[in-house]
Chain A
Amino acid sequence: MKNPLDSLWGTVISGLILTVVLYVLIKNFLGS
């Protein structure tokens, strides 16, 4: 599998996915 960080689009999309994951974790599990 290719490393998504090798492409700019892969990097930006990874960052957006991480943003959503962290948002959900903080909102639901870390007492915001």
Chain B
Amino acid sequence: MAGVMWIGLLYYFNFVQVAAMKNASADGTAAGISKHVAPRALLFFRWAAVVTFLAGAAMLGSHFVDAFALRPGYAGIGVGAWLGTIMLFNVWVLIWPNQKKILGIVAATDAEKASARRIAFLASRTNTMLSIPMLFLMGASGMFHTAVF
């Protein structure tokens, strides 16, 4: 459930909110999104990422190290686990701290906001790109003659 929420909100940001914010900024209605929608979406987004990682680690259980070490039989699920870990890093280290500047949760100059906007955008797009092989490898781990988690 956390995984669906995380990736669902990631796709909401990339496929819906980015374009909506552009249009809303043009007609002066962006404040509603940045004040009421984005902070709530980001709250569920970043914590769903943590819960997804912990649930994935729990599912791997005693095979956690086998997966992350890409040992024979675990490379498929292991690469998926690495992609998920990189995505979690992007959420907490690149997206959230920069979104706090963009949304005015922490003080930032206009130049800092512009740079934060670009970093958060590219990290979010990177995660959208990485979600495709991650979902494939999680779903198709059976194709690699390994345990299906």
Contacts and interface: CB of A to CB of B under 8 A. Distances in A.
Contacts of B133: 15, 18-19, 22-23
A32 B146 contact: yes
Contacts of A15: 128-133
A19 B132 contact: yes
B79 A26 contact: yes
B125 A11 contact: yes
Q: What is the interface of chain B mostly: helix, strand, loop, or mixed? A: helix
A22 B104 CA distance: 39
Interface string A1-14: 00101101001101
Contacts, number: 55
B122 A5 contact: yes
Q: Categorize the interface residue count of chain A.
A: 10 to 19
Interface stretch (B32-40, B56-64, B70-78, B89-97): B70-78
A31 B75 contact: yes
Interface of A: 3, 5-6, 8, 11-12, 14-16, 18-19, 22-23, 26-27, 30-32
27 contacts: A5-B122, A5-B126, A5-B129, A8-B14, A8-B15, A11-B125, A11-B128, A12-B128, A12-B132, A14-B129, A15-B131, A15-B132, A16-B132, A18-B129, A23-B133, A23-B136, A26-B76, A26-B79, A27-B144, A30-B72, A31-B73, A31-B75, A32-B72, A32-B73, A32-B76, A32-B144, A32-B146
